[in-house]
Structures are given as C-alpha cells and as structure tokens.
Chain A
Amino acid sequence: MSLVSVDTISLHLGGRQVLDQVSLNIEPGEIVTIVGPNGSGKSTLLRVIIGALSPKIGKITRKKGLKIGYVPQKLHIDPTLPLTVRRFLSLPKRVSDEAAHAALHDAGAGHLCHHQMTSLSGGQFQRVLLARALLTDPDLLILDEATQGLDQPGSADFYSQIERLRREKGCAVLMVSHELHVVMAASDRVICLNGHVCCHGAPEHVASAPEYRALFGTGTHGALALYRHDHDHDACDHDHSHDTAHKESA
C-alpha cells in the first residue's frame, strides 16, 4: 500500500491556480524528488501532503498511522522564544537523551546539544532540523530544499545520510531540490512539476524528456550524464522512447 496517494488535486492560492490536477504516489522506501522552476507549486504540494493545506478539488489519502518527518525550507524562531537544541528535539514528543544525542551525532551536529536554536548558523540549523525529523522514526521524510545554506561537503553528507537512512530504516523520502545533478543521482524517481505534473519517472527518463528540457535546458542533462555515465551510457540519448512512457504517466 502507498504511504501517500495524491489523486488529481487542484489548488488555488490567492486567486492563482498553483496546482493543476496533480497525482502522485509515494511507496515505502523510495526516494522521490520533485523538481520544477520557482513558483511551480513544489512547496505547496509538500504542504498539501503534510496536511497544512486542504485542496477542495481532488483527494489525498495517507496510510493509517503514517509518521512524517518534515524539514521545512526555512524556519524562523522568534528571538523571544528561548529554545535549546535539546529541547527542540523533544517537540512535540519527548525523546530520551541517548536518542537525542545519537540523532545529533548522525546529523553531524553532536556538539550543538546545549546551544540556543537562534544562535545556530544556517547549515547547523538544517542539520538540527534533520535530526529532529529523524527522531520520530518516520515512514516518510519530507525535505523542502533541505540543503539550502549547507556548504558543499555538508550537502554531500546530507544526501549520503539520507541514502543510509533509507537503507537502514527503510523510510521513504520525498524532497524538493534545486541541486539537479545531486538530485538526479540520488533519486529513484523524479517528478517534474510546473503547476501540473510535466513528466515523471526514473531520473534518466525525466532528464531526457522534452518537457523537462523545456524547463531546465539541456545543461543539467550534461551534469547528469557526468554523474551517471558509469552506470548508464544511454542516459544522453533517450529522445525517442520517453513519449510513450510519458503518455502512460500523464
């Protein structure tokens, strides 16, 4: 059974149609990435999935008892709210000290335990957010441009940690990212969104789809080829087969 099943939802925000008949399923243990230009509804779709927005058109079903770990794009903490990293990890459910330390250590933020949240740098903050999301032992981890503000090694660490988590705990990952080459290398499935689902499928397939190229150009495709060429020499030359596949999915 799918963890989350989004069935032809449409959503208007402030008089503008943000999502147009979007459908997708998230299966246990898979890594799915949503790509798309600014304003294409990526974050909105994630907010629909966590339940922050309820579309009037279409339907969304979540597996019963689904546990979601959510890492938002950015999180502003009001300076009037005193909050240590340790206390933050126990929101909303109290976690043991061992679990908290282990999660922080895993996220590469072990030394930050007693710091104030407002004193963290952007990258440290993201690591703590990830640690908190993982503490709930989620079935589905949702990351909204979670590597924003991380340096290059930090970002690489981040993705390798997500890979490891999927391997060890079997949690599914749904993420939005602009780092196309990393995304393409790390995902099982890519969904290209521009209000509606332009195309979706395996990274190689999406990267060669004309809809994707129309949005992102072919430059990123080159980057993908660079990352993938060891595994798949055909990645650069897929222009013929995608049409049928896309019709199936659309």
Chain B
Amino acid sequence: MSLLDDFIVRAVLAGLGLVLAAAPLGCFVVWRRMAYFGDATAHAALLGVALALAFNISIFVGVLSVALIMAVTVSALSGRGFAMDTILGVMAHSSLAFGLVAVSFVPGVRVDLMAYLFGDILAVGRSDLVVIWLGAALVVGLLYWRWSALLTATLNPDLAYASGISPKREQMILSLALALVVAVAIKVVGTLLIAAMLLIPAASARTFSRTPERMAAIAMVIGVLSVLGGIQSAFTFDTPTGPTIVCVAALLFVAANLVRLLRAQVK
C-alpha cells in the first residue's frame, strides 16, 4: 500500500471516487433541471462544516445532516405557494450566511475556511479516501438500483404513478444521493464548486448521447478526464487543484460543443 503514501495518488483516487458518483447523478440534475438545487445543497454544506467544527463531530456527518435537512425542507416547502427557485435562493444563501457567521464563533477556523470553500484535495488522507469511496459506492449503488424508476419519474410523474412508481419517493432518493455527493465532495473541490462537478460532465456528455445510460457513461469518462487533467495541470502550473479540475471540465465542455457544431456543419 506504499502507493497510497503519495499524496498525488490519494488526490487522484479521491477525485475519481467523486466523479464516478457525481457524473451519473449529475445527469439527473440536468434532466430534472435541479442545477440550482445542487448549488443550494452545496452552499448549505458550509453550515454543516461550521456545526461539525463547533460540536467536534466529523465534517462528513455534519455536512451530510445539513444537506439532508435542506433537501427534505425544500421538498416539503415546494408547491406551497413559493416558486422553487425562491425557496432554494432563500435556503441556500441564508444557510451559507449562517454558516459563515457560525464559523466565526469557532476559534482558529477562520484561516481554514478557504479549504472548505475550495476543497483541499492534496490533503486527502487515507480515512478520507475510505469515506469518499464508501459514499460514492453508496450513491452509484442507489442510482443503479433505482435507475429505471428514477428515469420514469424524471420523464413524467403521471407515467410513473400509472406504473406503480412513487415520484415522491424517487425524488427523496435523489435528494439523499445529492446530500451524499456533497458531503463526499467537500474535501475534493469544496462547497463552491460541487455543482460544477455535477453539471459540467453531464452537460458535455449530452452532445454524444442517444440514450440516458450512454449519457451517464460518457459523463463518467469526461469526469475522469477532468480529474486526471486537472491534477496534472495544477501540478504543472502550480494552481489550486480543485478549481483547476473544474477548469479542465469546462474546457472539455467547450470542446464537446465545438465537435457538435463541426459535425453539424459536415452533415
């Protein structure tokens, strides 16, 4: 296991664990137009960090709990006279603000805040790796198990009901998966960039896909390329690793769309 002693190897493994879960989940985020939901959950994560530090519990548990509470609250509030984006905006930014304020009460944390906002993938330890891969495996397992039902509910809630599937239950499963991914990602890319890792690989994959499964698979490949390319570039150019990974993903997105435009020209 001497390989794991190398922080670069640990960083790569952490990044891969994250994207393998985030890419297929990101497809649902794109299809269901939940981009802002992912963003809101990620912002709320900072409150989780603050609470975890204050009560001296694991960051993962703190973030997961807050993200779950956020997801359940949003689901409960939606359809009660507020537009979804209003609820999400209120929840996201107030929890971010409360998180920032709460962190200021915890002595000695202020300096570390950057690490939670942008992640610190090079500082990933062995126990972090275990948490990341367990969380990712859980998300992939959930999605694999519920795939058909999730897809039907995404397509149309009434079609799902007619087939005996409860769209509300599937929505909860997605929220749970989202909370898990956010909790896993906080160490890798930080709260501000989690939504990017959900959205960008999935959005890039859309161009090359004719079926949902293919889109999820291609999103995974693009995610993996972003992590490998990002860590390599961060090393070469001495840039912050998390943001560099997102930059590479964004460049791949642009490249994917250029390819699409060129193909359309040729046809």
Contact = CB atoms under 8 A, between A and B. Distances in A.
Contacts of B215: 82
Interface in A107-164: 116, 136, 142
A144 B216 CA distance: 33
20 contacts: A47-B161, A50-B158, A51-B162, A52-B158, A52-B162, A68-B162, A70-B158, A70-B162, A70-B163, A78-B32, A78-B33, A80-B31, A80-B33, A80-B203, A81-B31, A81-B212, A82-B214, A91-B159, A92-B149, A92-B165
Contacts of A87: 211-212
B233 interface: no
Interface range on chain B: under 10, 10 to 19, 20 to 34, or 35 or more?
20 to 34
B206 A82 contact: yes
Nearest to B151: A91
A231 interface: no
Nearest to B215: A82
Interface of B: 30-33, 148-149, 151-152, 154-165, 203, 206, 209-212, 214-215
A84 interface: yes
B209 A91 contact: no
Contact of B159 (A70, A78, A83, A116): A70
Nearest to A77: B155
A36 interface: no
Contacts of B157: 52
B161 A52 contact: yes
Given A92-B152, A136-B163, A72 B158 contact: yes
A87 B147 CA distance: 13
Interface in A80-112: 80-84, 87-88, 91-94
A91 B211 CA distance: 12
A91 B210 contact: no
Contacts of B163: 68, 70, 92-93, 136
Contacts of B164: 51
Contact of A80 (B155, B156, B165, B206): B206
Nearest to A75: B156
Q: Which 3 A-B residue pairings sit nearest by Cβ, starting from the closest? A: A70-B162, A52-B161, A50-B162
Contacts of B151: 91-92
A69 interface: yes
A93 B33 CA distance: 25
Q: Interface on chain A toward B: helix, strand, loop, or mixed SS? A: loop
A27 B168 CA distance: 30
Given A70-B159, A70-B162, A76-B156, 18 more contacts: A50-B158, A51-B164, A52-B158, A52-B162, A68-B163, A69-B162, A80-B206, A82-B209, A82-B210, A82-B211, A82-B214, A82-B215, A83-B155, A83-B212, A84-B210, A92-B152, A92-B163, A92-B165
Nearest to B162: A70
Contact of A81 (B148, B154, B161, B165): B154
A123 B149 CA distance: 26
Task: Please indicate which of the listed interface residues A47, A51, A72, A80 has the most CB atoms of chain B within 10 Å of its own CB.
Answer: A80
A248 B149 CA distance: 43
A187 to B, nearest CB: 21
A142 to B, nearest CB: 7
Given A80-B30, A83-B212, A92 B148 contact: yes
B103 to A, nearest CB: 36
A88 B152 CA distance: 9
B123 to A, nearest CB: 35
A218 to B, nearest CB: 35
B25 to A, nearest CB: 14
A91 B152 contact: yes
A69 to B, nearest CB: 7
Contacts of B148: 91-94
B160 to A, nearest CB: 8
Contacts of B214: 82
Contacts of B211: 82-84, 87
A82 to B, nearest CB: 4
Contacts of B161: 47, 50-52
Contacts of B155: 75, 77, 81, 83, 88, 91
B199 to A, nearest CB: 11
Interface string A42-76: 00000100111000000000000000111010011
Nearest to B214: A82
Contacts of B149: 92
